[in-house]
Amino acid sequence: MTPQKLLLLPGDGIGPEVMGEVQRLIDWLNAQGLTQFETETGLVGGCAYDADKVAITDATVAKAKAADAILLGAVGGPKWDPVPFDVRPEAGLLRLRKDLELFANLRPAICYPALAEASSLKREIIEGLDIVIVRELTGGVYFGEPKEITDLGNGQKRAVDTQVYETYEIERIARVAFELARKRGNKVTSMEKRNVMKSGVLWNEVVTRVHANEYKDVKLEHQLADSGGMQLVRNPKQFDVIVTDNLFGDVLSDIAAMLTGSLGMLPSASLGAADAKTGKRKALYEPVHGSAPDIAGKGLANPVAMLASFAMALRYSFDMGKLADTIEKAIANVLDKGVRTGDIAPAGTKSVSTSQMGEAVLKEVQALHG
Ligand code: NAD
């Protein structure tokens, strides 16, 4: 087994606490010879600003480019509210996404049976849910030019954002979605607004062509993004993989997140293009939640989103799907046994600390491994 390079960027707030639980799991996996991870740790976000007056140094970006995968905790917090805009903690994360061209954001929404009560939807609608939203992350209306507010001089202003997509951007995100579907339920639902937006017309056309030419074995459906949003809360289990643009993906993935109950449970992956020679993608894995300054340093954070992000790294960057399955099963078993951190514990019930949850998952991984 060749050593695999993992760059750990714990970041701020609860980031280092939840990353500690991943490090503990990696240490055990390495000791068992199940993995050969070489881990290195770096600074990103507010802690990088404190050390170097930037949100991430060039040296850390170089390490990120050289790594096989990056695990990130979370960045930000009120301590850094006063820092200049271009070196605010989030700038470190944005720079990583941009410099590594991480154009595909994957957000699974899984509803563990033991947590079905935590969802705002009825148990039968949500129990056993397992879907992934693939969001285009580097194009569309958040980046399109012109992007401006013009003073019209008559007491009125005009604001313009530009939704723009080119063929290659849609092709590459569609391929990520189809490849992913092949490893799951083999179905892709593409969402856009072709009824009112030219970018939606092109999106629909390109996804349809990529499907016909390369992925005929995968089932493809199209939905308008507004009715797709409605379907996502009406009957979410009809979906397997949803592929959509940056703006709709932002909204739809937050809706999907709430289906599952808690922010502390949700992992994500951001992937770049496949290397022409090796087929490997640059990849960053991180929990959906932020640095949770309200509970930072108290041992209250739920490490499951971070641990599940590591499981995604095993599956998508290291082709260790079985080990990823084991970790996900271990998380489900721990929840079945009623182990809960504060964010997922019903009011008035006992909850465990970050390290107790991490330890419970590790023990379960050890038991499943035999
Ligand atoms: P947040 O996700 O940090 O917290 C929202 C709420 O969820 C808080 O009450 C928090 O205690 C709780 N929570 C979040 N993760 C949890 C976990 N693992 N276990 C238990 N409870 C958890 O969002 P916020 O409060 O809006 O933002 C706080 C800071 O994080 C801000 O500076 C924001 O900019 C930053 N942020 C960073 C990222 C990122 O690094 N990707 C994402 C979102 C927000």
Each domain of the chain, given as residue ranges in start order, spans 1-103+272-370, 111-261
Task: Compute CA distances 32 → 7, 12, 369, whole Å.
Answer: 21, 30, 10
Average pLDDT over residues 114-127: 87
CATH superfamily of 111-261: Isopropylmalate Dehydrogenase (3.40.718.10)
Residue 263, ligand 1, Cβ within 6 A: yes
- Look at domain 1-103+272-370 and name its CATH class: alpha beta
CA atoms of 118 and 343, how far apart (whole Å)? 10
Cα–Cα distance measured from residue 322 to residue 122, given in angstroms and rounded to the nearest whole number: 31
Interacting residues of 243 by C-beta distance below 8 A, sequence separation 6+: 134, 173, 174, 176, 177, 188, 189, 190, 191, 207
Rounded to the nearest angstrom, the distance between the alpha carbon of 219 and the centre of ligand 1 is: 36
Comparing 1-103+272-370 with 111-261, is the CATH topology the same? yes
Choose the catalytic residue: 217, 254, 319, 336.
254
CA-286 nearest atom, ligand 1? 41
Residue 261 has pLDDT above 80, yes or no: no
Question: In which band, very low, low, confident or very high, does the pLDDT at 258 lie, cut at 50, 70 and 90?
Answer: confident
Q: What is the mean pLDDT of residues 78-103?
A: 94
Sorted by sequence, the CB contacts under 8 Å of residue 88 that are 6+ apart come out as 55, 76, 80
Mean pLDDT confidence for 309-325: 95
Q: In testing the pocket of ligand 1, which one of 263, 306, 354 has its CB within 8 Å of the most ligand atoms? A: 263
**What are φ and ψ of residue 8, in 5° steps?**
-100, 125
Predicted local confidence at residue 1, as pLDDT: 66
The reply to whether the predicted model has a pTM over 0.75 is yes
Q: Is the CB–ligand 1 distance for residue 50 below 6 Å? A: no
